[in-house]
């Protein structure tokens, strides 16, 4: 019996040394120490040993069992460590490798400028009002005091959605892509006036949006571009309000030290009309390449809303006056950053776009 136990111990120790993985180790345990394992079976036979030898053999069997259990724990710990070590090697990360920067999205420069303009006017109490890109000739021209055949139409070469005027088809019913955001003035005034036609509420809105002109694409002109229209209509609005509003806006947008010049101009839908210049950002009025040696940069058109336009919008020009202005965010962005070619805006070239924001 004793010899059998010794042989079993030797065999078990040898097998244990060969176990390399936790799987093999579990098998070893079942084989030798399990409920039906070799040692358990052998120990059951201790009862058959003659009584006088039994305590000695019993004690010896227990010693073998404890020795095997201790050896097992030691081996298990060694295998666990080896396996962790191997896993760390396999999944090793080289923390010294350069990282891969995630590509971060950003607003298009025109959108950034639009947001900035909207933000400044929002603080002055102007609501953002959106009007349609596809218009009738009636709204884009006629209701703005530009009748068919008016020479002002030549300034805004038009994309017609319907084909060229056909015999008998009135010019005024043509569908077109708006050439400016000014038709939104009529839509907005009519919507506001509809609230109370006898006593229409005051209007204070800006109308941002895309405009389209059938032009040669050059560094200075694109066939599509944004405009931001402004419109204020009320009972006592004067040219001083227009000037104050524009001046405040320009100084917020371009710097408190900006100087402004209102130059008399003509638009059929405003009277009087003006164009607004500010002193050149680059040379501060000295004369340079950006301002073409004049010292001034033209930034918007404006004026007092023409009585005909007020009436077309549902506001009685006897009791109401208003001012309007229109500017191009692309042009403003170009002036601000010294961009020399408007075609960059819609080319989707990341080398350009990534410079903003």
Binding site for ligand PHE (CB under 6 A): 180, 182, 229, 267, 270, 301-303, 324-326
Burial of 263 per CB tally in 10 Å (0-12, 13-18, 19+): exposed
- Min dist CB 198 to ligand PHE, Å, is 27
- Min dist CB 131 to ligand PHE, Å, is 13
- Min dist CB 349 to ligand PHE, Å, is 27
- Min dist CB 152 to ligand PHE, Å, is 10
| Identity of the residue, 12 or 206, whose beta carbon is nearer to ligand PHE in the bound complex | 206
* Residue number closest to ligand PHE, CB atom: 326
Q: How far is CA 29 from CA 64, 65, 212, in A?
A: 14, 12, 84
Task: Tell me the chain's radius of gyration from C-alpha atoms.
Answer: 44
- Min dist CB 324 to ligand PHE, Å, is 4
Helix axes 54-90, 2-18, angle to 10 degrees: 0
CA–CA gap between residue 116 and residue 122 (Å, rounded):
10
- Side-chain half-sphere CA neighbours of 107 within 13 A: 9
- Name the helix (H) or strand (E) containing 60: helix 54-90
Closest CA to 73 of 41, 126, 31, 33: 33
| Identity of the residue, 37 or 209, whose beta carbon is nearer to ligand PHE in the bound complex | 209
CA–CA gap between residue 115 and residue 109 (Å, rounded):
10
| Identity of the residue, 37 or 329, whose beta carbon is nearer to ligand PHE in the bound complex | 329
């Amino acid at each position: 019996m004793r010899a059998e136990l010794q042989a079993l111990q030797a065999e078990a120790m040898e097998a244990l040394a060969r176990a390399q993985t936790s799987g093999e180790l579990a098998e070893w345990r079942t084989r030798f120490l399990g409920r039906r394992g070799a040692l358990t079976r052998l120990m059951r036979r201790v009862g058959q040993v003659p009584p006088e030898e039994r305590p000695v053999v019993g004690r010896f069997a227990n010693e073998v069992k404890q020795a095997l259990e201790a050896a097992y724990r030691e081996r298990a710990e060694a295998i666990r460590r080896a396996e962790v070590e191997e896993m760390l090697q396999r999944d090793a990360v080289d923390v010294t490798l350069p990282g891969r920067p995630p590509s971060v999205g950003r607003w298009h420069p025109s959108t950034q400028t639009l947001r900035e303009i909207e933000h400044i006017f929002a603080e002055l109490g102007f609501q953002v009002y959106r009007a349609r890109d596809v218009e009738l000739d009636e709204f884009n021209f006629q209701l703005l005091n530009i009748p068919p055949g008016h020479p002002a139409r030549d300034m805004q070469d038009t994309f017609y959605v319907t084909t060229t005027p056909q015999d008998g088809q009135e010019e005024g019913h043509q569908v077109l892509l708006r050439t400016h955001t000014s038709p939104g003035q009529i839509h907005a005034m009519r919507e506001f006036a509809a609230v109370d036609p006898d006593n229409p509420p005051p209007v204070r809105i800006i109308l941002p949006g895309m405009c389209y002109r059938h032009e040669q694409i050059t560094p200075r002109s694109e066939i599509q571009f944004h405009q931001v229209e402004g419109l204020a209509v009320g009972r006592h609005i004067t040219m001083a309000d227009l000037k104050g509003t524009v001046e405040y806006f320009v100084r917020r947008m371009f710097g408190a030290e900006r100087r402004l010049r209102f130059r008399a101009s003509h638009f059929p839908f405003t009277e009087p009309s003006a164009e607004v210049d500010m002193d050149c950002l680059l040379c501060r009025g000295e004369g340079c390449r950006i301002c073409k040696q004049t010292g001034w940069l033209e930034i918007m058109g404006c004026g007092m809303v023409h009585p005909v336009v007020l009436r077309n919008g549902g506001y009685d020009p006897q009791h109401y006056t208003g001012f309007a202005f229109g500017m191009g965010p692309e042009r403003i962005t170009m002036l601000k950053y010294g961009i020399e070619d408007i075609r960059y805006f819609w080319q989707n070239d990341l080398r350009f776009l990534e410079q903003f924001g």
